[in-house]
Amino acid sequence: MSSLITSPFGYRTTAREAAAGHDLSGRRMIVTGAASGIGVETARALALQGAEVTIAARDLGKAQAVGDSINREAGASRVRIGKLDLADLGSVRSFVSTWMGPLHVLVNNAGVMASPLMHTAQNFEMQIGANHLGHFALTTGLAGALEAGAKDGRPARVVSLSSIGHRRSDIRWDDPHFRKGDYEKWTSYGQSKTANALFAVGLTARWRDRGVLANAVMPGGIITPLQRHLSKEEQIGFGWIDENGVPNPAMKTPEQGAATSVWAAIGPELEGVGGKYLENCAEAAPWKAEEPWSGVMPHALDPGSADRLWDWSEKEIAGA
């Protein structure tokens, strides 16, 4: 196996540290779901280095508060807000229709985790619907803008937020929307995170010649609103928090959790690189049973599965 891509950064690197020293003036970026959690710190780190960042989120009030805070810190109006509900393809298409000009970086950060059985506006199961199909529709809808962003000779970048949760399930090709009645929230989450990783593989294979590349990111364990569907007892059982709600010291802060997304967006080590699964600001090694909370499983990088997923996704959104 060829040597893995590394960087000067690691587990405790913050988003600002990963962005430091970069002049992002003139670079236009979108971060989905940046009204809370690690998306806030991703947007902040990029904007403070000069990027024009659009926060694409459902809650415009929260997003505007984040944008105002970042703009005050930057001393300039660098953050804009756009309405985007990834669980409604109508909203996705509306957002795409308002985008004008080139796009240099798209960070597909938003997500839902371990929700009860829910469905999107188009009757997709919520986790694969919002986490994957919504972002698939967004990215393919912005293909022209990304291609335009690559015309300066540097590839445009797409960052697809995955998770170690991908180890819980490959794509359930026979029933991805759990219509047979066997819904299990963690299997659903795992499938969606596998899809996020495969999307980076598939996009890179299809769009490399257009100057657009994608990598998947495992941000690490962080306590954010992503846990909204989990009880306190569940989180204690996983060892994420103690009885008083205090996070396990091994967990990352949101600032640390955003670092790999920022590195994927602008890191020089990844110039011209796509189809990788990244964690802790480095390319992940293969998953091992003795280290179950890190690494990447083969099913999340399989080119054949990535191609199959792309075809399936095109058909799903075309018919909705």
11, 183, 189, 277: which one is catalytic?
A: 189
If DSSP codes are grouped into helix, strand and coil, which group holds residue 188? helix
Q: What is the pLDDT of residue 223?
A: 66
The whole-number pLDDT of residue 320 equals: 79
Least confident of 51-60, 191-200, 242-251, 279-288: 242-251
Q: What angle do CA 152, 32, 58 make, to 5 degrees?
A: 140
Neighbours of 271 (CB within 10 A): 11
pLDDT digits (tens, 9 = 90+) for 290-317: 998 899 999 999 999 999 999 999 999 9
Q: Where are the domains of the chain?
A: 15-315
Give the architecture-level CATH label for domain 15-315.
3-Layer(aba) Sandwich (3.40)
Q: What is the pLDDT of residue 234?
A: 74
Is-catalytic flag, 11?
A: no
For 47, 49, 64, 110, 206, the CA distances from 76, given in Å and listed in that order, are 9, 11, 15, 25, 37
pLDDT band at 53 (very low <50, low <70, confident <90, very high): very high
Phi, psi of 106 (to 5 degrees): -120, 115
Q: Which residue has the higher pLDDT, 230 or 214?
A: 214
Residue 263 has pLDDT above 80, yes or no: yes
Amino acid symbol at 125: E
DSSP H helices in 110-172: 126, 135-141, 143-149
pLDDT tens digits, 111-124 = 998 899 999 999 99
CA distance 269 to 78: 26
Checking if the pLDDT of 225 tops 70, the result is no
Say whether pLDDT at 1 is over 60: no
Average pLDDT value for the chain: 94
For the chain, the C-alpha Rg in angstroms (whole number) is 18
Least confident of 61-70, 207-216, 220-229, 243-252: 220-229
CB 70 within 8 A of CB 78: yes
Question: Has residue 229 got a pLDDT over 70?
Answer: no
User: Does the pLDDT value for residue 67 go beyond 90?
Assistant: yes
pLDDT at 35 over 60: yes
pLDDT at 73: 98
Confidence of residue 154 (pLDDT cuts 50, 70, 90): very high
Query: What average pLDDT does this structure show over 249-278?
Result: 96
Tokens 């960042």 map to which residue? 53
Enter the pTM of the model. 0.95
Task: List the beta strands (DSSP E) in the chain.
Answer: 28-32, 52-57, 79-83, 105-108, 156-161, 212-218, 277-279, 282-283
Task: Name the burial class of residue 130, with classes exposed (0-12), middle (13-18) and buried (19+) by CB atoms within 10 angstroms of its CB.
Answer: buried
For 178-222, the pLDDT digits (tens) are 999 999 999 999 999 999 999 999 999 999 999 999 999 999 887
Confidence of residue 138 (pLDDT cuts 50, 70, 90): very high
